[in-house]
Structures are given as C-alpha cells and as structure tokens.
Structure 1
Amino acid sequence: MDTEALRSFVRASELGQLRHAADELGVTQQAVSKRIASLERELGVRLFARTSRGVELTLDGQAFLPHARSVVTGADRAVAAVRPGSRALRIDVLGLRSAQAVVLHDYWRSHPELDLDVVTLKVDDPRAAVAAVEAGEIDASFRSVTDPATLPRDVQMIPAFDSPLELLVGPGHPLASARALTPTQLRRHRIWVPGIVPRSEWADFYDQLVTEFDLRIDAAGPNFGNEVLLDTLADSADVATLIAARDRYLWPVHYDLRRIPIVNPTLAYPISLLLRSSNPHPGLRGIIDHLGTLAALPQGAWRPSWASTGPPG
C-alpha cells in the first residue's frame, strides 16, 4: 500500500480540502486526488464524500483513518530514527479557528523558525487524544481530561490558558444592544449549543454551567458547522450561543452579529495541554512558556470544578 497515498488521505481528512492537503504536501491537487482514488480502488470502498465545501469522511473512511494515521506515523518515526531532530512539532487543536489555534498562530508569528504542524483530530472523546499522545502520533493536544487520575503514566495534563466566554447574538435579539452581560441576565434566554457530545469535556463543562447559573442550554439537533450556526443567529430574535473570546469567527457584514462579554463573574472555559511526561518534543518548551504570559482571568471568575490551577509548567 502506497505510504504517500495514505499520507494524502490522512491530511485531506484532517484539513477537509484536497487543495489544502496538496499545499501542505507540496504536490498538486490532482496528484492528491489520484492518490486517494487509487487507494479507494485498492480498498474497494469510498473514503470521502465530496461536498461543496470540500471532502468529508464516509463511514468506511472514518473506520480506516486511525489505521492509516498509524501507518503514516510509523513511517515518519522510521525516518526520524535516522534523522534526529528533523520532525515537526505536531499539536492537535479543536479547530483551526479555535482559541488554541489563534494562540499557537500568535506564537508562531514570533517564532517562524519553528517547524510546526497543527492538526485537528476528528475525535470528541479526549481519551482518544490521550492515546494519540501516548502513542507518539502527536506531540501534544489542547484537550482536557476531567478526571486526571485516569491519565496513563507517560501522559501529563498541564493548564494552558483560560478562555473567557462571550454571548454571540444577531441584531434582532433582545440582548443585542448590551455592552456586557451577567450570567443572571442570560437566564430564560435560549442558548443554542448544538451537538454536545456525551463524555466530551465540553459536555461536562455545560452540565456544570447549567447547574451553577440555571442557564437554558439547548443542545438539540446535529452540529452542521459554524456557517449554519451563524446563519441561524443572524435571522433569529431569540437564539444566542456561547463562544470563546479568542475564537476567530467570520461572517458577512450584513449579519451584524454581536459578541458580548460576560462579567460578574466572567465565565471561563479552561484549556489544558496533554503531552508526554518523558522525552517531550523540544519545541514544546517555548510554547509552554508563551502560554504562561497570557493574560490572567479577572478575580472571581468562574471555572468548572475539574479545571487545573496554576500557570503552565
């Protein structure tokens, strides 16, 4: 089986676009498409469904991905074994517009010499990210395990940074004109967060948020992506959602969406970093130091009970 075809499949699945995978691999989009088509013929299944926005894994593709990633990782390890220090630092983020990706990009702009590979594992259970770190498939992951006692011996979780929440609403929402809001003012308003996955860290986060502040979190319906969510907010007079202050969202100007800080107390989502306890990638030290320079939360901010405390170390 062609290793480069597997590599093309893995990168296309992580990036969602053949063109982006081709750019990263230094080949043409046609070459990536041919490699994947050849792989599909060899396996006798379709790995991707083509959409207007790129490609999405089929069920067979989802089943094949972890095995393909393991083969590619093994090949990369074999090369690294004879070329020490040549491998890029590979870090998993929840999304390329997430607060974690924004913070990483800010660091990389000041340190462009760092060979950095930012990936997004298509997993919701943080235990899968832990397994990828433990196996050496990635060097670190911006994920949180709400019960740190379950971590394997060679994986540690350190606090990365806290991400204050904001309310995102359309211009017709009753709270749209507010400059800041308290959690009490959010009560009785529908906060739509579709696709909350059981056993995920954010499921635990929202459970505690609802219990603490009596908020109305609506997780009904599948998650069709940010575009559908933003479309809904722009047209709605009663739907809002919660986003992180550093998250990067883009929408048409005529949507006129409003990002409103939440205060008294600030509601913060704690972001952690998973990495190997022994022999971590040397490029991680600079990133961890950078995380320690980020602005602290205001006094009295609310964080869930499982949040780690203290600066990155």
Structure 2
Amino acid sequence: MDTEAVRSFVRAAELGQLRHAADELGVTPQAVSKRVAALERDLRVRLFTRTARGVELTLDGRAFLPYARGVVVSADRAVAAVRPGSRAPRVDVLGLRSAQAVVLHDYWRSHPGADVDVVTLRVDDPRRVAAAVQAGDIDAAFRTVTDPAALPPDVRMVHAFDSPLQLLVGPRHPLASARSVTPSRLRGHLIRVPGIVPRSEWSEFYDQLVTAFDLRVDATGPNFGDEVLLDAIAGSADVATLVGARDRYVWPAGHDLRRIPLVDPTPAYPISLLLPRTNPHPGLRAILDHVAALPPVPEPAWRPAWPRLSPAAGRR
C-alpha cells in the first residue's frame, strides 16, 4: 500500500477538498486525485463521492479513515526512528553499570529535554563496534581501537575521559582499612578480574598494567557475573578486584565491601568515543561537551601506551 496515497486520502477527507490537500502536501490537485484513485483500485472500493463543493466520504471511506490515520502516524514514526535529526542519538556502552553509562546518565539528568538511546552491543572486539558505527547501526560508541590504523576510514576516535581505578576488597582483606593504596602495594595480592576477553581493549589494558606494576591478575575460569565475584570478595581474606571509580556496583550491606582509591600513580583507563567522520548525529555535540568538562584524573597518573588522542571538546 502506498503510504503517500493514504496520506493524500486522509488530508482530503479532513479538509474536504482535493485542492486544499494538494496545497498542504505540496503537490498538484491532479496528483492527489491520481493517488486516491490508485488507492481505491487497490482497495476495490469507492472512498469519496465527488461533489461540486469537494469530496465527501462514502461509507467505506468512513470505515477506512481511522485506520488510514494510523498508517500515516506509524509511517511518520518509522521515519523519525531512523532520521538522525529527529531521533535520539544511539550510543553504545560496555554495560549499564559502566562508567560510560553513568556519565551518560549524568548528562541526561543535567540536560532537561535531551534524550539518548543507550545500547549495549554484545561485542568484545572494538573493531566490530567501529564497523557498527560505520554502518550506521549506532551513532557513537564508548570503545577504543588501540591501533588507530585498524579504524574504518570514515570512523574517527576521540578521547572522552579517563576512568581512575579503585581496589575493591572485603572486610577481612589486609588492605581493607587503607584510605588509599599505591599500585606497588598490590604486589603479591590476588586480583581477580574475570571476563578479560582476548582482542578486547581491556585485555590489552590489563596486560600493560600487570607488566608496569608486576601485579598478579587472575582472569582464569568462567565469568559468572559481578554478583558472584562480589560474593567471593566479601567472604575472602585475600581476593580483591579492580573497578572504575565511576562504575556502579551494588552489593548487600552485610558484604561490607570497601572501594579504595589507587594513588601515586593512579592507574587510569582511557575511554574513547568512536564517531562518524562526516555527518555525526547532531545530538552528540552536547554529549561531547559534557564529557570534555569532566574533572581530570588526579596526577600523577599511569595510562597504557595507547596513541594519545585529541580530546572530545572541539572535535565534532
């Protein structure tokens, strides 16, 4: 069914004249007449009776009108759902508890009237996420392709913000009472980080972190989720993990877990944003300004040896 023919029928029915419908739709009265005639042929019914004053709905036309209005509304909504200028920007984050999601939530709360479509691609390889940006499946992604040469030519990457790491321990851990901890004090302690996937950006980050500070990071075994890991830390005197300072975690009050800042230097996870090089979604501009205004990581800080990127501010 031709949606423009349905739209012409609806406006002619509401205005009572083909000429008025044509003026509103920006076409000729003959074009409206042909559209309606084609629709009547498809439906095999008469929708209008032509009169000297214009058009009047037949019984079939009256029965069809409410459904025709629904077709027009659905078509308009379908177009708006995929048109960058009229829909919310679709942004990928690693997880809904991640620092990226928390930052986007803060943006949404501080910008009344703004909207954002937060999605989580079940993809660990950031190059596949970059391909999704290139294809237009998403408008942007908080991911890092550590080798910029592997980026598609029409996708660019900017630095969004750094996420400082914290140590997460239970009440029986030897470092549980510390107000801050240096990375060197973590040597010899078991740091459990399940879910480190080969070829992922966080796999490369932890490889460099372990080498830089001679840490013992255990990523073996299946990943049963954050809740299982938090339960294990709460009941252990030697197991700990690393979390981002903005990452959102929730655990039972009885766990008595402690988040301890890492300092001198502060390990910082650089978070990048993948964007189209041309015609990015206009709603991304305010998001870029928001992340560019985030406070920096306390210095001195340690960062992996990834290529230094231009900040989000001023790169649109």
Normalised TM-score (structure 2): 0.73
- Where does residue 105 of structure 2 map in the other structure? 105
Give yes or no for the alignment of 1:129 onto 2:129.
Answer: yes
Q: Deviations over 1:138-189 (max 9, x none)?
A: 0000000010111111100100000000000000111111100001100000
Deviation (angstroms), 1:250: 0.5
Deviation (angstroms), 1:307: 4.9
CA 1:235–1:76 in 2, change beyond 3 Å: closer, same or farther?
farther
Matches within 5 A, 1:1-313: 79-80=79-80, 85-312=85-312, 313=315
Deviates more, 1:75-84 or 1:97-106: 75-84
SS at match of 1:205: helix
Give the AA of the match of 1:166: Q
SS at match of 1:166: strand
Contact persistence 2:81–2:87 (CA under 8 A):
no
Q: Deviations over 1:44-82 (max 9, x none)?
A: xxxxxxxxxxxxxxxxxxxxxxxxxxxxxxx99972499
Q: Deviations over 1:101-139 (max 9, x none)?
A: 110010100113123110000111101111110000000
Q: Percent identity?
A: 73
Contact persistence 1:91–1:140 (CA under 8 A):
yes
CA 1:307–1:249 in 2, change beyond 3 Å: closer, same or farther?
farther
Give the AA of the match of 1:139: D
Please give the alpha-carbon distance, in whole angstroms, between the structure 1 residues aligned to 2:82 and 2:199.
40
CA 1:218–1:156 in 2, change beyond 3 Å: closer, same or farther?
same
Deviates more, 1:76-85 or 1:283-292: 76-85
Deviates more, 1:297-306 or 1:256-265: 297-306
- Where does residue 14 of structure 1 map in the other structure? none
Q: Deviations over 1:1-54 (max 9, x none)?
A: xxxxxxxxxxxxxxxxxxxxxxxxxxxxxxxxxxxxxxxxxxxxxxxxxxxxxx
Please give the alpha-carbon distance, in whole angstroms, between the structure 2 residues aligned to 1:287 and 1:84.
15
Greater Rg, structure 1 or structure 2? Answer: 2
Contact persistence 1:179–1:260 (CA under 8 A):
yes
Normalised TM-score (structure 1): 0.73
Please give the alpha-carbon distance, in whole angstroms, between the structure 1 residues aligned to 2:311 and 2:131.
25
Contact persistence 1:179–1:261 (CA under 8 A):
yes
Give the AA of the match of 1:210: V
Q: Which runs of 5+ in 2 are unaligned?
A: 1-74
Cα-Cα RMSD: 1.9
SS at match of 1:267: strand
CA 1:134–1:84 in 2, change beyond 3 Å: closer, same or farther?
closer
Deviation (angstroms), 1:299: 2.6
Contact persistence 1:270–1:307 (CA under 8 A):
no
SS at match of 1:217: strand
SS at match of 2:198: coil
CA 1:97–1:265 in 2, change beyond 3 Å: closer, same or farther?
same
CA 1:82–1:212 in 2, change beyond 3 Å: closer, same or farther?
closer
Contact persistence 2:157–2:309 (CA under 8 A):
no
Contact persistence 2:92–2:118 (CA under 8 A):
yes
Deviates more, 1:103-112 or 1:274-283: 103-112
Contact persistence 2:126–2:201 (CA under 8 A):
yes
Deviation (angstroms), 1:212: 0.6
Please give the alpha-carbon distance, in whole angstroms, between the structure 1 residues aligned to 2:210 and 2:290.
32
Contact persistence 2:266–2:301 (CA under 8 A):
yes
Please give the alpha-carbon distance, in whole angstroms, between the structure 2 residues aligned to 1:276 and 1:190.
41
Aligned pair count reads: 239
Q: Deviations over 1:233-276 (max 9, x none)?
A: 11111100000000010011110000000000000000000010
Contact persistence 1:170–1:258 (CA under 8 A):
yes
Contact persistence 1:173–1:239 (CA under 8 A):
yes
